[in-house]
């Protein structure tokens, strides 16, 4: 006999029409944005609190707005100037640069982009004038042993398409939304080159979440901007989003990416060979992007990425009876069957990384934590409480890889094997 819950779900799918699904899809994207804004605020506040223990005086770095943004056609979703935070390097790091691309999801519709432009993820009008530089951005050698004295830049994210939207897709009917992600990337890179990036001896492009995806998209572009004899590598944190169906069998993430790419004209910023072979939104998935990257990449990703579990594997639309709600809020609340599904999701990630593992100069740190971004928080990057694999923190592993001290391709055992994990708990 059919499971009554599954039978009810099938009835629910059959009874809903296109209009209902469109409304639900819009609600899904708005919910994603709300979750991302909430997480961004929570993580900054939490990290600042923990950072007072591990680093009582984190550097607060001023926001700089891009000069002549309008002339360069490089503006946020609302038309305001994009921004970045710059901290000058010193000593042996004076000619070394680390750039970090902020994360914050994507918008795939006029409704979600219009909501986004009223937040710091779509407008510099709402950005904090100062932000703490912690984790991979810290200037404290005890917290950031390899890169503490480098020139460091945090690029604020205000376009909604991983720094890859193009103005050709903008509406001509008076809808005031600007899709200028690629222009923002080009313009800020130009400004940083004039500030000394052009003379870099060592450099890293990093990013978290949607910024981690942007890191993969722009990794080779970044390499091309710098001197040939410079050591240039990329570190993508929680940016390996899977092309997986959700628990109800629907390609939720695939459909979402399709809308983002079409709305914001992202195809123009993606690998030309990939776009010529398959539907452009497929080329927005990291599994396809990494096939064409030439620059060495290090991937930091939890095998139980809570954002992907909550939005890719078990979006609300796939769980109408909230059977997964407690599990999505706290992995310790997952029942046996749910843990089995999460282990299958982990297996899918490892399978997607097969090609990544074969690349000689590439590295990875795939831990078994219920986490998301881990490089820019002191508590997860390098501190007494940081997650470890083989007794190495993420910072130590990235340092070993970047400086060619050893091959680093760390894959953790299955949850709940790692007692050092910093597992998120939502309420």
Active site residues: 209, 305, 372
Whole-number Å distance between alpha carbons of 257 and 244: 12
How many C-beta neighbours within 10 Å does residue 104 have? 25
Cβ pair 89, 130 in contact under 8 A: no
Whole-number Å distance between alpha carbons of 192 and 299: 25
Cβ pair 107, 262 in contact under 8 A: no
Cβ pair 58, 105 in contact under 8 A: no
């Amino acid at each position: 006999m059919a499971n009554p819950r599954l039978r009810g779900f099938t009835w629910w799918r059959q009874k809903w029409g296109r209009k209902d699904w469109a409304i639900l899809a819009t609600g899904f994207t708005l919910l994603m944005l709300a979750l991302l804004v909430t997480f961004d605020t929570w993580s900054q506040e939490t990290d600042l609190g923990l950072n007072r223990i591990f680093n009582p005086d984190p550097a607060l770095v001023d926001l700089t707005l891009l000069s002549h943004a309008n002339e360069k056609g490089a503006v946020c979703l609302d038309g305001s100037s994009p921004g970045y935070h710059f901290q000058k390097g010193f000593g042996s790091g004076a000619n070394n640069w680390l750039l970090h691309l902020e994360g914050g999801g994507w918008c795939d519709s006029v409704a979600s982009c219009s909501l986004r432009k009223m937040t710091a993820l779509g407008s510099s009008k709402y950005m904090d004038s100062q932000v703490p530089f912690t984790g991979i951005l810290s200037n404290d050698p005890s917290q950031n042993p390899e890169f503490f004295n480098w020139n460091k830049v945090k690029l604020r994210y205000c376009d909604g398409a991983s720094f890859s939207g193009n103005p050709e897709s903008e509406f001509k009917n008076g809808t005031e939304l600007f899709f200028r992600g690629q222009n923002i990337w080009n313009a800020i890179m130009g400004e940083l080159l004039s500030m000394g990036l052009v003379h870099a001896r060592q450099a890293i492009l990093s990013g978290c979440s949607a910024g981690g995806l942007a890191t993969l998209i722009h990794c080779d572009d970044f390499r091309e901007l710098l001197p040939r004899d410079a050591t240039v590598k990329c570190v993508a944190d929680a940016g390996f989003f899977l092309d997986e169906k959700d628990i109800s069998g629907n390609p939720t993430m695939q459909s979402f990416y399709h809308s983002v790419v079409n709305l914001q004209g992202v195809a123009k910023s993606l690998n030309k060979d990939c776009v010529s072979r398959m539907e452009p939104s497929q080329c927005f998935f990291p599994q396809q992007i990494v096939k064409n990257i030439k620059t060495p990449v290090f991937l930091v990703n939890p095998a139980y990425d809570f954002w992907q579990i909550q939005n890719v594997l078990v979006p609300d639309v796939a769980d109408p009876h909230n059977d997964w709600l407690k599990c999505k809020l706290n992995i310790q609340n997952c029942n046996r069957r749910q843990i089995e599904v999460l282990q299958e999701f982990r297996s899918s990630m490892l399978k997607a990384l097969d090609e990544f593992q074969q690349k000689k100069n590439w590295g990875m740190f795939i831990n078994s934590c219920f986490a998301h971004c881990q490089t820019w928080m002191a508590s997860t990057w390098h501190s007494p409480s940081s997650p470890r694999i083989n007794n190495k923190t993420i910072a130590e592993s990235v340092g070993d890889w970047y400086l060619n001290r050893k091959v680093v391709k760390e894959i953790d055992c299955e949850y709940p094997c790692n007692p050092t994990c910093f597992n998120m708990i939502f309420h």
